[in-house]
Amino acid sequence: MHQMTVRELEKAAKDIRIRLLTLCNKETIHIGGDLSSADIMTVLWQYQMNYDPDHIHSEDRDRFILSKGHASAVTSFNQAAIGCFDAEDVIAEYATDEGRFSMHSCNLVNPYVEVSTGSLGHGLPIACGIAAGLRLKGNYTSRVYTVMGDGEQSEGSIWEAAMNAVHYQLGNLVALVDFNGLESDGTIDEITGLKNIADKYRAFGWNTIELDGHHIGQIKEAFDGLPPADSKVPTVFVCHTVKGKGVPFMENQRRWHAGKISDEQLKESIELLEKEFEGGGSHE
Ligand SMILES: Cc1ncc(C[n+]2csc(CCOP(=O)(O)OP(=O)(O)O)c2C)c(N)n1
């Protein structure tokens, strides 16, 4: 856990968005879902997680599994922010043959990626397995965090894992759902009619917290209020978010699930983000 104020975290999240847009000016990235999860990912990586870039195999580290594996860029920039590598390297190497960074995180080339993901529906089951494994090894202090999409909730494997996490009393497991209401092919309601995700996790027996996934103060508070890692009930944060958050022409637009932006769009978006941050009331 790192001591950071809400205002510092708001600045960190703004900086992550600017990095994302800078990369998006060079390469196609999954910008919509990167931006919707930028606030929760920033608080998770830059405030909450016990993860030392100099000891990435330490047994007592917290583990992170990116279940919505296409949000690799927002993960990489947060890892850069805590010192895993340089943010400039992410931009220079992204999608190159020898690069460590691409549209999906790959642990064959990037050791800071706990598990390679990209095929949706696998992160939560893997996180469950790791959480159970930690318990079997007598580790009752580390937590396992995973970030999922709402579209991803239509994978059956998610619900097998949701059931097992409760059965195996994995209180060391913390899942976050980026509930932005959009997938790549339409709205969640058009595609699966999933409706109330929080009710579903509650019905499976999870400690279920609903929050505004762009309210840094609320996110921080939710992490502060987590039950101890040695407790018996898994926690899910159902985070209400906006796809493309922070860039008005992208917000709630399916077209911006993935894409690339022009120099002009980059310049305007950065100016807007800076202005918004300067004028923004704190979310303490
Ligand atoms: C098993 C599987 N099916 C389909 C895809 C293609 N795909 C990539 S992203 C995506 C949409 C996911 O939507 P959501 O989980 O809501 O992500 P977000 O909107 O937060 O980016 C799809 C269908 C995939 N990666 N894996």
Mind listing the pLDDT tens digit of every residue in the chain (284 residues)? 678 999 999 999 999 999 999 999 999 999 999 999 999 999 999 999 999 999 999 999 999 999 999 999 999 999 999 999 999 999 999 999 999 999 999 999 999 999 999 999 999 999 999 999 999 999 999 999 999 999 999 999 999 999 999 999 999 999 999 999 999 999 999 998 888 999 999 999 999 999 999 999 999 999 999 999 999 999 999 999 999 999 999 999 999 999 999 999 999 999 999 999 999 854 54
Residue with the smallest CA separation from ligand 1 atom 19 is 183
Cα–Cα distance between 121 and 161 in angstroms, integer? 10
Tell whether ligand 1 has an atom less than 6 A from the beta carbon of residue 33.
yes
Cα–Cα distance between 44 and 273 in angstroms, integer? 21
pLDDT, residue 238, reads: 98
Tell whether ligand 1 has an atom less than 6 A from the beta carbon of residue 243.
yes
Tell whether ligand 1 has an atom less than 6 A from the beta carbon of residue 119.
yes
Residue with the smallest CA separation from ligand 1 atom 16 is 151
Cα–Cα distance between 25 and 14 in angstroms, integer? 17
Q: Which token pair is 229?
A: 């890692």
Cα–Cα distance between 150 and 158 in angstroms, integer? 11
Please choose, from the candidates 256, 104, 127, the residue with its C-alpha nearest in 3D space to the C-alpha of residue 183: 256
The CA-based angle 81-107-93, given to 5 degrees, is 60
DSSP assigned state of 48 = I
The alpha carbon of residue 183 and the mean position of all alpha carbons in its chain are separated, in whole angstroms, by 15
pLDDT, residue 61, reads: 98
Tell whether ligand 1 has an atom less than 6 A from the beta carbon of residue 184.
yes
Residue 147 CA, ligand 1 centroid: distance in Å: 13
Q: How many CB atoms lie within 10 A of CB 255?
A: 10
pLDDT, residue 193, reads: 85
Q: 95 φ, ψ to 5°? A: 60, 20
DSSP-assigned letters across all residues of 126-164: HHHHHHHHHHHTT--S--EEEEEESGGGGSHHHHHHHHH
Tell whether ligand 1 has an atom less than 6 A from the beta carbon of residue 123.
no
Cα–Cα distance between 107 and 115 in angstroms, integer? 6
Tell whether ligand 1 has an atom less than 6 A from the beta carbon of residue 15.
no
Query: Which of 35, 179, 183 to mutate to test ligand 1, by most ligand atoms within 8 A of the CB atom?
Result: 183
* H-run or E-run covering 239: strand 235-240
pLDDT, residue 1, reads: 63
Question: What is the CATH architecture assignment of 6-279?
Answer: 3-Layer(aba) Sandwich (3.40)
Give the strand order in the sheet containing 235-240. 63-66, 144-149, 173-179, 235-240, 207-212
Q: For the chain, what are the domain ranges? A: 6-279
Cα–Cα distance between 172 and 259 in angstroms, integer? 36
Q: Provide the whole-model pTM.
A: 0.97
Cα–Cα distance between 266 and 260 in angstroms, integer? 10
DSSP-based three-state secondary structure for 40: helix
